[in-house]
Amino acid sequence: MTAINVSSLSSSLTGSTFDWQSFVDQIIQIDSAPITKLQAEQSTNSDKSSALDVLKSNLTDLQTATKALNASTLFTGRTVASSSTTSSWNLTAAAGATAGAYTFAVTQLATASTRTGTNHIASPISASNVVSGVTLATMPTASAITAGNFTINGAQVNIALTDSLQNVFDKISTATSGAVTASYDHTTDTISFNSASEIVLGGANDSSNFLAATHLTNNGTGLISSANPLGTTSLTAPLASARLSKGITAVDASGNGSFTVNGVPINYNVNTDSLSTIIGRINSSSTGVTASYDSGADRMVIVNNATGDTGFGLSETAGGFLDAAGISMSSTGAATSRGKNALFSINGGSTLTSASNSLTSAVTGITGLTVQATTKDTQTISVSSDTTSMKSVIQNFLDKYNIVQSYIDMETATKVSSGKVTTSTLSGDSTVEGWSSALRSKAFSAISGLTGTVKRLADLGIDFSGTGSQLSIRDGAKLDTALATKPDDVAAFFNSASTGFATTMDTYIGKLTATGNSGAIASMESNYAAKNTSIDAQIAQIQRRLDSERTSMTAGFLAMQTAQQNSKSLIDMLNNSFNKSSSSG
């Protein structure tokens, strides 16, 4: 009996070499062609939207440059310069200042009125000529005394801060072998050195400032005395203990007193307020003056904050602070130096006066010009149009305009080379091309209703470059002349309300770049976004159908695979059975 080839039968039934999964993928890929086409359309829409974004950004820059052309002070801007290259005068020309050349001859500068108080208002460093109890560390001199050595007649005198003034006198006598004696006079508050021969003070290696702090200097004789009284007023101690030589008596039982400066009351308390506090209180008030303390001369000084020939108004009850500080209107030795007004002329005219060194239109009659005179001098001040700033703003507008036009040209271009057509992102978009044409038209057109010499950009030497869409300054001299001599005409061209070049250009660009559906670009981008949303829905629908198709095909092949596996098992069983029968026969 011939054996059946079950193995061959199994192979033909199962088709074990068939890759059904790759087959399903290929079928799905073929059926996915519509999705690929839709995705390409989405990509194109997105590219167009991105191109519009860039265009909107460029237009926004152009709009900013256009608004700068519309600035109210651009074409009224002025520059100002002095004929003196070394001038320290501060010159300011406001927008709209009257242009011209003005020769200022300043013969007197304005100064402030000053009230200088009595010198040496402090008590002496000692109430008597005995100074054994006055230590160097506590001597109330203007400069604190430092320890170290100083020289008299070539002999060094070493002192410590713990020394009393009498100790120092004794050390001087010892160092000079009695040739120089020292003493203190409380009535003049001075120190004196006495010798039968010339006294020579100081040495190159002195380390103490004793001689300088006590105002002792060489005079070529055998008698040297302090050039000024030694005692000074304390700035920080309460007034009652500030070492003022005259007591403050015009106070109540609690120590409260008051005085006025230019009608402004200044209150104080002798037990709590210091000289420094009172000075600060005056300076922070509305008195219009600045008070200070001159430690070298031990005196008060009051200066008007404003220059000019104006006086002071100081008043108080007798025995008050102003009297003790030596600054009252009745203080012996105090003096008022009246301020001066500035004196000047313009272009050789009559002498003018000003309370301030800031010579403004109020006193000069020259609109917008301020001359801050710092020296007596004659200088010619020239005021002219700020053509540099004007040209800069105009050039910036041209640059931004050209960027917009170049970008539109690039993104809408269609090129044919060797029979091959190459398109750009926005090729064939008549709307965008229309924007370019509209911008060119507005840039080229004349502004109606103007009576000046400038009615269009060409009147400023600005025109298109050949047949292209780029604007440039074709005649720089023409522009310079217009800006320098006809700034009002230029301003009218750019700035006239509702009809000016900058106004109409700004309005048009605003319609293109506005947000929401009112903006042309935003509307187009919204349309592209809506298209892509619709495409998303179509792709999703197709994808659902493909997913269903894949599921159905996969289920069929899996069922076939299961049937094949079952057939193979049956064939294997039959094959085994026949093989056994053949062997036993």
Average pLDDT over residues 230-237: 95
Q: Which of 7-11, 389-393, 418-422 has the lowest mean pLDDT?
A: 7-11
pLDDT score recorded for residue 516: 78
Q: Six-digit token pair at 138?
A: 């506590």
Greater confidence, 387 or 9? 387
Confidence tier at 69 by pLDDT (50, 70, 90): very high
Three-state secondary structure call for residue 537: helix
Residue whose entry in the numeric block shows the structure tokens 């098992």: 569
Q: Where are the alpha helices (DSSP H) in 371-500?
A: 387-412, 430-444, 476-485, 487-495
**Helix then strand then coil, % of the chain, to nearest 5:** 40, 20, 40
Average pLDDT over residues 333-361: 96
Average pLDDT over residues 56-81: 94
The whole-angstrom separation of Cα 254 and Cα 240 is 12
What phi, psi does 337 have (nearest 5°)?
-100, 110
pLDDT score recorded for residue 2: 40
Strand ranges across the sheet with 90-93:
90-93, 369-372, 358-359
The residue extents of the domains of the chain are: 6-31+522-576, 58-75+388-513, 78-110+341-385, 143-225
The whole-angstrom separation of Cα 212 and Cα 248 is 32
Average pLDDT over residues 414-418: 81
User: What percent of the chain clears pLDDT 90, i.e. is strictly above it?
Assistant: 73
pLDDT score recorded for residue 17: 63
**Contact yes or no for 275/248 (Cβ under 8 A):** no
pLDDT score recorded for residue 40: 86
pLDDT tens digits along 222-231: 999 999 999 9
The whole-angstrom separation of Cα 58 and Cα 207 is 74
pLDDT score recorded for residue 206: 96
pLDDT score recorded for residue 6: 40
C-alpha angle 579-580-582 in degrees, rounded to nearest 5: 65
pLDDT tens digits along 191-231: 999 999 999 999 999 999 999 999 999 999 999 999 999 99
Three-state secondary structure call for residue 415: strand
**Contact yes or no for 299/265 (Cβ under 8 A):** no
pLDDT tens digits along 85-96: 999 999 999 999
User: What percent of the chain clears pLDDT 70, i.e. is strictly above it?
Assistant: 96
pLDDT score recorded for residue 14: 45
Q: Six-digit token pair at 467?
A: 């047949």
Residue whose entry in the numeric block shows the structure tokens 């187009």: 524
The whole-angstrom separation of Cα 197 and Cα 194 is 9
Beta bridge partners of 345: 105
Question: Mean pLDDT over all residues of the chain?
Answer: 91
pLDDT tens digits along 443-470: 999 998 899 999 999 999 999 877 678 9
pLDDT tens digits along 505-520: 999 999 999 987 789 9
DSSP for 259-299 reads EEETTEEEEEETTT-BHHHHHHHHHTTTSSEEEEEETTTTE
Confidence tier at 13 by pLDDT (50, 70, 90): very low
The highest-level CATH class for domain 143-225 is: alpha beta
Strand ranges across the sheet with 299-304:
289-294, 299-304, 114-116, 335-337
**Contact yes or no for 331/117 (Cβ under 8 A):** yes
Longest distance between any two alpha carbons in the chain, whole Å:
168
Average pLDDT over residues 51-56: 93
Three-state secondary structure call for residue 57: helix
pLDDT score recorded for residue 4: 39
**Contact yes or no for 63/442 (Cβ under 8 A):** no
Average pLDDT over residues 284-294: 97
